[in-house]
C-alpha cells in the first residue's frame, strides 16, 4: 500500500464513523473466523496464513484500537490458529509505516523548530510503527536517541472505535459480563493517557525511579527538551528484540529473562501500586542474554490506590494458604461479586487455583497448554461469567493472566515463581506521589 493511500485511509477512517464501522466489522468477522478455526480445523496452515496476513494488512492500515487488538491476538495463546497468529506478529513492530513527510509537521509544530534544527541527525526510516505512533532513530547533543511521533488524528480514531465498541458490546476480550459503559470508560481513560506523551514521559520517569536499585532493569531516559504531548524522545537502548532472543538464547537465558519479566510485573504492582499494562513482546529488549531487560512503552500504565493493592494481596494470601472458607468474603471485597448468593464460589476456587498454579508448584514451567486452558476455564465454561462485575481498576489486570502468561509461555520460562511471587507479595507498599 502506497504512503498516499495509507494517509487517505487514515484520514477516511478518522473522519467517517460509517467507514470505520464497516472496516471494523470486516476485521471483526475475520478475527471471529480465525478464532473459530482454533477449534474447527477444516482449514489448512496455508489458508490460516493467508487469513492472518489479510487481517494484519487491514489492522495495520487502520492503526489505533484496531491495531492494538491485532497486537494482542498476535501473542495471546489459543486466540487463533498458530499460523494465522504468526502472520500477525509483525504488528508488534508495525508493518507499513508512514513516510517521514507525513509526520514531520507533527514534530515541527509541537517543538517549534525544523527537524534539522532539533536533531543533528534523523533517520527517515522508522525503527518501528505501532498502533498510535512511529519511532525513528536520531542524534541529539551527540547522544543516540529514539523519537516517538504520534500519528495525526489518531485520538479521533480511538473515539470512533470506542463508540463502535459501546454499540456492539464487544466484551469478549476481557471475559466478563462487565457493563459496556464501564469498560469503555476505562479504555477511554487509558487511551487518552496513551495519546498524551507528557503522561507517558511522566510514567517512564516514575518507573525509572522506582526500579533504579535493580541493575537488571533498564528504562530509557526521557529527553525533555525534545518531547511534547505528541513527541517523546528517549535515549536509545541496545538489545535483541523478543523473537530473535528466544531463537538464539539457551534455556537458562530464557528462564532468567522470564524471572525478570515476572518480578518486574508483580514487584511493580505489590511494591508500588502500578501496572505496566502492555506486556507484549515488542516492548522488551534483551541486551545481555536475559540478565538485563529493557522495558519500553509506558503509555498504558494503571496506577492503583493502596486499598486496591491491599485487597489484591489479601486475595493472594487466601489462595496461597489454601483458605477456601475465606474466598467469598475477599471476593466480595474486590467488588467483582455483586450477588454472592448467585455466585459459584466452588468453581471460582478452581479458577484461582489454576491462576496460582505457577506459585503453588515448586518449579513451574509456563507452557502454551497452560495458557490455552484459561480460555475455557475463565470464559467458555465459566458459570460465573455473567455473574461477575469487573470494577474499572481490575480491567487491565487481565493482561497479566493472558498477556504476561503468553509471553512467559513463548519463552518456555521455568523457575521458582512461587518464591518470586511471595517476595513481591511481602514487599511493603510504597506509592510514589503522582
Q: If you count them, how many residues does the chain have?
A: 434
Burial class (CB in 10 A: 0-12, 13-18, 19+), 431: middle
Residue 139 has pLDDT above 50, yes or no: yes
Confidence of residue 198 (pLDDT cuts 50, 70, 90): very high
Distances (CA, A) of 423 to 1, 233, 259, 418: 50, 34, 12, 9
pLDDT at 74: 56
Asked whether the beta carbons of 51 and 33 are under 8 A apart, the reply is yes
Region 91-118 average pLDDT: 88
pLDDT at 40: 40
What does the mean pLDDT of the chain come to?
A: 81
Distance (Å, whole) CA 67 – CA 371: 23
Residue 96 has pLDDT above 80, yes or no: no
pLDDT at 260: 96
> 276: helix, coil or strand?
strand
Asked whether the beta carbons of 64 and 157 are under 8 A apart, the reply is yes
Return the bridge partners of 303, or none.
274
Region 60-77 average pLDDT: 53
pLDDT at 69: 55
Confidence of residue 86 (pLDDT cuts 50, 70, 90): low
pLDDT at 196: 95
* Structure-block grid coordinates of residue 65: 484500537
Asked whether the beta carbons of 270 and 310 are under 8 A apart, the reply is no
Asked whether the beta carbons of 323 and 379 are under 8 A apart, the reply is no
pLDDT at 400: 81
* Structure-block grid coordinates of residue 20: 470505520
Region 148-157 average pLDDT: 85
Residues 6+ apart with CB under 8 A from 261: 279, 284, 293, 404, 407, 408, 411, 413
Please give the share of the chain, as a percent, with pLDDT higher than 70.
71
Residue 289 has pLDDT above 50, yes or no: yes
Distance (Å, whole) CA 120 – CA 349: 59
Q: How many C-beta atoms surround the C-beta of residue 433 within 10 A? A: 4
Region 309-315 average pLDDT: 98
Say how far residue 260 (Cα) sits from the centre of its chain. Answer: 17
Q: What's the pLDDT tens digit per position in 347-370?
A: 999 999 999 999 999 999 999 999
Amino acid at each position: 500500500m502506497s504512503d498516499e493511500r495509507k494517509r487517505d485511509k487514515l484520514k477516511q477512517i478518522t473522519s467517517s464513523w460509517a467507514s470505520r464501522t464497516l472496516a471494523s466489522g470486516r476485521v471483526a468477522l475475520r478475527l471471529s473466523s480465525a478464532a473459530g478455526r482454533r477449534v474447527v480445523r477444516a482449514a489448512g496452515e496455508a489458508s490460516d496464513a493467508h487469513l492472518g496476513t489479510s487481517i494484519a494488512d487491514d489492522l495495520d492500515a487502520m492503526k489505533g484500537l484496531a491495531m492494538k487488538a491485532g497486537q494482542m491476538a498476535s501473542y495471546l495463546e489459543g486466540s487463533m490458529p498458530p499460523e494465522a497468529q504468526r502472520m500477525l506478529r509483525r504488528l508488534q513492530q508495525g508493518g507499513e509505516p508512514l513516510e517521514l513527510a507525513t509526520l514531520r509537521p507533527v514534530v515541527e509544530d509541537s517543538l517549534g523548530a525544523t527537524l534539522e534544527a532539533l536533531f543533528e541527525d534523523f533517520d527517515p526510516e522508522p525503527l518501528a510503527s505501532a498502533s498510535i505512533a512511529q519511532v525513528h532513530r536520531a542524534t541529539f547533543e551527540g547522544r543516540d536517541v529514539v523519537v516517538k511521533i504520534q500519528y495525526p488524528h489518531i485520538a479521533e480514531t480511538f473515539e470512533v472505535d470506542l463508540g463502535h465498541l459501546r454499540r456492539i458490546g464487544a466484551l469478549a476480550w476481557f471475559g466478563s459480563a462487565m457493563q459496556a459503559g464501564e469498560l469503555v470508560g476505562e479504555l477511554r481513560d487509558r487511551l487518552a493517557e496513551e495519546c498524551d506523551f507528557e503522561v507517558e514521559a511522566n510514567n517512564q520517569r516514575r518507573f525509572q525511579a522506582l526500579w533504579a536499585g535493580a541493575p537488571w532493569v533498564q528504562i530509557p531516559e526521557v529527553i525533555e527538551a525534545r518531547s511534547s504531548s505528541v513527541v517523546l524522545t528517549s535515549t536509545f537502548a541496545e538489545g535483541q528484540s523478543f523473537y530473535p532472543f528466544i531463537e538464539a538464547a539457551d534455556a537458562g537465558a530464557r528462564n532468567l529473562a522470564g524471572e525478570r519479566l515476572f518480578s518486574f510485573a508483580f514487584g511493580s504492582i505489590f511494591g508500588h501500586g502500578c501496572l505496566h499494562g502492555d506486556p507484549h513482546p515488542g516492548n522488551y529488549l534483551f541486551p545481555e542474554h536475559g540478565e538485563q531487560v529493557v522495558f519500553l512503552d509506558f503509555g498504558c500504565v494503571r496506577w492503583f490506590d493502596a486499598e486496591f493493592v491491599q485487597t489484591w494481596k489479601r486475595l493472594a494470601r487466601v489462595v496461597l494458604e489454601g483458605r477456601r472458607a475465606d474466598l467469598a468474603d475477599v471476593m466480595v471485597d474486590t467488588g467483582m461479586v455483586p450477588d454472592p448468593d448467585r455466585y459459584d464460589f466452588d468453581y471460582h476456587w478452581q479458577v484461582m487455583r489454576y491462576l496460582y498454579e505457577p506459585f503453588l508448584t515448586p518449579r513451574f514451567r509456563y507452557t502454551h497448554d497452560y495458557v490455552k486452558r484459561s480460555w475455557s476455564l475463565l470464559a467458555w465454561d465459566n458459570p460465573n461469567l455473567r455473574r461477575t462485575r469487573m470494577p474499572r481498576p481490575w480491567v487491565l489486570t487481565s493482561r497479566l493472566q493472558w498477556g504476561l502468561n503468553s509471553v512467559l509461555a513463548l519463552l518456555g520460562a521455568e523457575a521458582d515463581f512461587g518464591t518470586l511471587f511471595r517476595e513481591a507479595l511481602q514487599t511493603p507498599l510504597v506509592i510514589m506521589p503522582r
